Copies of this chain bind each other. A is one copy, B any other.
Amino acid sequence: MIRIAVDAMGGDNAPKSNVLGAVKALKEKKDIELILVGREEEIKAILSGQDYDQGRLRIVHADEVIGTDEEPAVAIKKKKNSSLIIGMKMLREGEAEAFVSAGSTGAILIGGQVVAGRIKGVKRAPLAVIIPTISGKALLIDGGANVDCRPESLLQFAVMGSLYAEYAMKIKNPRVGLVNIGTEEDKGNMLVREAFPMLQSCQEINFIGNVEARDVISHCADVLVCEAFAGNIVLKTMEGVSSAIFRKIKEAAMTDMRSKIGGKLLKPYLYSMKKEFDASEYGGAPMLGLNGLVVKAHGNSQEKQIRTAILQCVGFYENDLKDKISAAIRKEKENSVKSEDGAPGAEE
């Protein structure tokens, strides 16, 4: 039985969509137990009349809610009784294996590191974002958690992202690329130039070298490694450009009779393409390297997205990803200590 805590109060459509999304997930998967964290009365009111397996769903009351307008660091300290903090604590205490929230991104990122806590050896816990490409999903890591990080952290992101891609996303021997402004080894800023040889000599990953932001959408790599400033810029630019283009097409298809007919005929194709390029359709963003999996669902998640984010946690646990990450980080550390010592085998 996998115990997944769900923040009933976070997000634009909470608590209703969160609770109903949880009920949906519960019906689909028999081996999960859900813990709805939030205001008990409100949750109960939504649950009443719903048909679900009551033995696998319980409520943990949480009085407070952290809003998206609050300063995350302050809110985390002050609102100890918020659904977000209580959910994170359950991870730390081992009362749940995963926590899904559509609440304040800032609070989730800080709460993850500070309250849930990191796996031993993990320097910084990245937010891995599943992104659309022209041929399926890829994983961008870090998409928003750690700016100004060290090359060692990029190496850990690569290792964690590769494991997530392989076991949770089912991508065989995932190709790991370092996001850069050119493909040559010596391109880029200090950070990526220092990270390059570290990724290259890492035996836990299938490193394919530098990749350019232009090729991300063409699926140049399955795992795209970067610090969060660059990563967030990739994500937001993708989002902005694709939505602007589809908006413009809609406008163009209203110009005159010819364009109206053309637009009408192409509409279903364009609509499904728009969905393909919409990252929010791709479930939540897993925050990796923590004592338990934290999944950040989109703030505007509906039932369907909450359901997807919950089910996403199952693959993580079925494959013991937490243990795999822990082992890989330990192994990588041993290797790097060995190479620093100039010990035998360190030359590889």
> Is A147's CB under 8 angstroms from B255's CB?
no
> Is A234's CB under 8 angstroms from B232's CB?
no
Contacts of A248 in B (CB 8 A): 134, 273, 276
Q: Does A209 contact B (CB under 8 A)?
A: no
Interface of A is mostly: helix
The residue on B at minimum CB distance from A228 is B181
> Is B242's CB under 8 angstroms from A270's CB?
no
Contacts of A239 in B (CB 8 A): 214
CB 8 Å contact bits of A205-225 with B (1 = contact, 0 = none): 000000011111110000000
How many A residues have CB within 8 A of the partner chain? 52
Partner of A213, one of B134, B217, B237: B237
The residue on B at minimum CB distance from A149 is B189
Contacts of A247 in B (CB 8 A): 134
Give CA–CA (A255, B272) in the complex, Å.
13
Contacts of A181 in B (CB 8 A): 144, 147, 228-229, 232-233, 236
> Is A252's CB under 8 angstroms from B233's CB?
no
Give CA–CA (A148, B230) in the complex, Å.
13
CB 8 Å contact bits of A316-327 with B (1 = contact, 0 = none): 000000000000
Give CA–CA (A228, B233) in the complex, Å.
13
Partner of A259, one of B189, B241, B269: B269
Q: Which of A134, A213, A241 has most B Cβ within 10 Å?
A: A241
Give CA–CA (A82, B344) in the complex, Å.
49
- CB of A312 to closest CB in B, whole Å: 24
Partner of A249, one of B232, B267, B270: B270
> Is A229's CB under 8 angstroms from B188's CB?
yes
> Is B216's CB under 8 angstroms from A237's CB?
yes
Supply 19 A–B pairs (Cβ within 8 Å), ascending by A: A134-B244, A181-B236, A213-B232, A214-B236, A214-B237, A217-B240, A217-B241, A217-B244, A218-B240, A233-B234, A234-B237, A237-B237, A242-B245, A249-B249, A252-B269, A252-B273, A255-B269, A262-B263, A265-B265
